[in-house]
Chains A and B, each alone.
Chain A
Amino acid sequence: MWIPIVVIGGLVLVYIGTYYLNKKTPIPDECKDVVDEATCTACHNFTCSYKK
């Protein structure tokens, strides 16, 4: 009973940890415009069309 909870809980913690660390690491300055372009051309994304 407790094994799935531990496994999922651990993975969630790992994910949130890496997500936070990644967010804290700044994107190199020269790449900023490239990132936006890539995010919006690579996938027809709802979040993209709503950001405009």
Chain B
Amino acid sequence: MTKKDNFLKGFFKENPIFFYLLGMCPALAVTATFETSLGMGLLVVFVLTSSNIVVSLVKKWIPHDVRTPAYIVIIATFVTVVKMLTEAYAINLFDALGVFLPLIVVNCLILGRAEAFASKNTVIDSAIDGVGMGLGFTLGLVVIGILRELLSTGGIMFGVYLPIGDAPITLFSLDMIINLFAADFHITDYGLKVFGLAPGAFIALGIILAVFQFRKSRKDRKIAIAKMEFIAEKKRIAAEKKKLAAQKLAKAGGK
């Protein structure tokens, strides 16, 4: 596997959320808005990369029997660092994430990567894998976050939770499109509030996973049809050959 493949695999081919269904708790809980999803994802990128680096650095010294405890301690240390940094520099994000910030410790993704990848590969490969997988996780969170925030408020806000800029700005709003046709109509007043609440999280993630599954099932069906055609063609050729052989035999017998 080249370094580029290693980096890119987390985005689509092995996306942690959409294909492995890992880290579902944060994927449902912190994705009410685009910005909290982005913040959570970036924190996971940091923890995953640094824990992968440290695990691959110390892999020679950790006895095989106690590797899981060691990984848990390493991950928990980085999560504590992240928790303190977030509390110091992005208090709004800290409040919004709440209990899910310390819960990065038990995210299956991080322990899984330490066990399956970092404990077997070099430091550089593990770091690339950590960044790639973490960004793939972020991508998954951000997709859910954008869908939920668009449906619940009709726009995307930025600058409320992350300490960037002075005042929150609206990145995108459905009003911008609709006001081209109807000036006085504000679709933001008719948001589906339920998508910002708990039930909407389940339904939004269900819809996104269904889209992925639809694409996959179509691909599978195409492959299956191609396979069936291939088999039918082979059968036909075999039957023709048999016929020919039988004819030859009949001719030979006739003589």
Q: Do A and B touch (CB < 8 Å)? A: yes
Binding site for B on A (CB under 8 A): 12, 15-16, 19-20, 23, 43-47, 49-50
* Dominant secondary structure of chain B at its interface with chain A: helix
Check B189 for interface membership: any CB of A closer than 8 A: no
Query: Taking CB as reference atom, which chain A residue is nearest B120?
Result: A50
Q: Please indicate the chain A residues that have their CB under 8 angstroms from the CB of B113 in the complex.
A: 46
Most-contacted residue by chain B among A15, A19, A44, A46 (CB, 10 A): A46
Query: Do the beta carbons of B21 and A16 come within 8 Å of each other?
Result: no
Query: Do the beta carbons of B66 and A47 come within 8 Å of each other?
Result: no
From 98 to 127 in chain B, residues with beta carbon under 8 angstroms from any chain A beta carbon are 108-109, 112-113, 115-116
How many residues on the B side are at the interface (Cβ–Cβ under 8 A)?
15
Given A12-B73, A50-B116, verify A44-B22 contact (CB < 8 Å).
yes
Nearest-CB distance from A39 to chain B (Å)?
A: 12
Q: Please indicate the chain A residues that have their CB under 8 angstroms from the CB of B73 in the complex.
A: 12
Binding site for A on B (CB under 8 A): 20-22, 65-66, 68-69, 72-73, 108-109, 112-113, 115-116
Query: Do the beta carbons of B112 and A46 come within 8 Å of each other?
Result: yes
Q: Please indicate the chain A residues that have their CB under 8 angstroms from the CB of B66 in the complex.
A: 16, 19-20
**Distance between Cα atoms of A47 and B65 in the complex (Å):** 16
Query: Do the beta carbons of A45 and B108 come within 8 Å of each other?
Result: yes
